[in-house]
């Protein structure tokens, strides 16, 4: 759902009212589904595993930040801007521009919290995988590189909160998530007694 959101996401065209709302609504709807999936990973690793539980707490915080960013950018902005669009053009006062700039800054900050949370949680889950081996170690090493790489890009000043940067981040993190999800499903198929857990 997050990948579809990034494909649909209008890159800067604030006149695409319904596309903006639709793409961000899809992103917001994906958040509880993501949280349940991440709980499945945490449960597989064992609720006594401090690395896994910490990763889950961090991703939960990050998903709340992502939800708030989606609400601001995808729901509040379009509703706010609709009042200032006449004949297909924007009619802004200085006060409106200041309000939009503040909202944009708030949205960027929340997106950065989300990105940092995803990088850190993937890094911690991957450390737990390498240490305890509930999944193949190669996915653990891949996650360590992915999480560390995300932080390196942030520290290098790469803007991952831009639409283009965020797309790169989403596709990278979704790759890890899809592989983990596949391995989780596969492990349940191989051990039918765990299907109800």
Give residue-wise pLDDT tens across range 35-74: 998 999 999 888 889 999 999 999 999 999 989 988 888 8
Quick one: pLDDT at residue 4? 56
Quick one: pLDDT at residue 115? 87
Tell me how far apart the alpha carbons of residues 69 and 48 are, in angstroms, rounded to a whole number: 32
Quick one: pLDDT at residue 90? 59
In which residue ranges of the chain is pLDDT below 70?
1-17, 84-93, 95, 161, 163-166, 189-197
Residue 85 DSSP label: E
Instruction: Decide: 39 and 53 in contact? Cβ < 8 Å.
Output: no
Instruction: Please state the domain extents for the chain.
Output: 2-194
Name the region of 13 (left: φ>0; alpha: ψ -120 to 50; beta: rest): beta
Reported pTM = 0.79
Helix-, strand-, coil-residue percentages of the chain, each rounded to 5: 80, 0, 20
Quick one: pLDDT at residue 13? 52
Quick one: pLDDT at residue 196? 45
């Amino acid at each position: 759902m997050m990948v579809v959101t990034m494909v649909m996401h209008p890159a800067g065209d604030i006149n695409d009212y319904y596309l903006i709302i639709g793409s961000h609504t899809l992103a917001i709807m994906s958040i509880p589904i993501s949280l349940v999936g991440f709980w499945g990973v945490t449960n597989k690793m064992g609720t006594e595993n401090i690395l896994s539980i910490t990763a889950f707490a961090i991703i939960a915080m990050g998903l709340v930040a992502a939800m708030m960013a989606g609400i601001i950018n995808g729901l509040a902005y379009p509703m706010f801007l609709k009042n200032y669009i006449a004949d297909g053009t924007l009619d802004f006062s200085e006060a409106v521009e200041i309000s939009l700039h503040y909202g944009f800054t708030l949205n960027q900050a929340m997106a950065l919290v989300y990105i940092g949370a995803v990088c850190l949680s993937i890094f911690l889950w991957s450390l737990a995988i390498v240490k305890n081996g509930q999944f193949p170690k190669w996915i653990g090493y891949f996650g360590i590189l992915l999480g560390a790489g995300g932080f390196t890009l942030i520290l290098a000043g790469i803007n991952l909160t831009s639409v283009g940067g965020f797309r790169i981040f989403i596709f990278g993190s979704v790759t890890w998530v899809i592989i983990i999800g596949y391995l989780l499903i596969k492990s349940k198929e191989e051990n039918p007694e765990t299907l109800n857990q």
